[in-house]
Amino acid sequence: MDQTTFFSCLEKQNKVKQLFLHCTSPEEKYKKLIEIGQNLTPISPTAKVPENAVSGCQSLLYLSACYKDQKIIFTAASDALISAGLTALLIMVYSEESPEVVLKCPPHYLQELGIQASLSPSRSNGLANIYLRMKQEALKFLALNIK
């Protein structure tokens, strides 16, 4: 993987961090998270199938991935605003990236923003499961690309 590809991921992480610059309290971060979740690109209704459900989330969350031009495109839907926001934060960084980037560019920006520290244990677990699912999809597409 070349450095410019990895740079794209870090650049997107910095853009997400910029969205939270003026959020000084946990309440403001939650409001921003909800706002971001409300702008989540809708998932196709046909993608709301059991195999796209992310286990370990407090709410019902679907994550779909497709592979186009050697990039993964993620879409998602959640019945809870916080879960939608958390998912959107990951999609903003990892969608339209290569499988290698998804696997090798961890979401350190979430910790830097203090997002994980303000989550309940079950929501934090759900966030980890969403990222795990993204990495599983990346591995699947990487394996297809190697063959």
Cβ atoms of residues 70 and 142 within 8 Å: no
57 is catalytic: yes
CA 15 from chain center: how many Å?
Answer: 14
Q: How long, in residues, is the chain?
A: 147
Rounded to whole angstroms, how far apart are CA atoms 84 and 37?
Answer: 4
Pick the catalytic residue from 9, 23, 57, 105.
57
Residue 101 Cα distances to 1, 18, 44, 55, 58, angstroms: 8, 21, 25, 23, 27
Element (H, E) at 77: strand 71-78
Task: Cite the active site residues.
Answer: 57
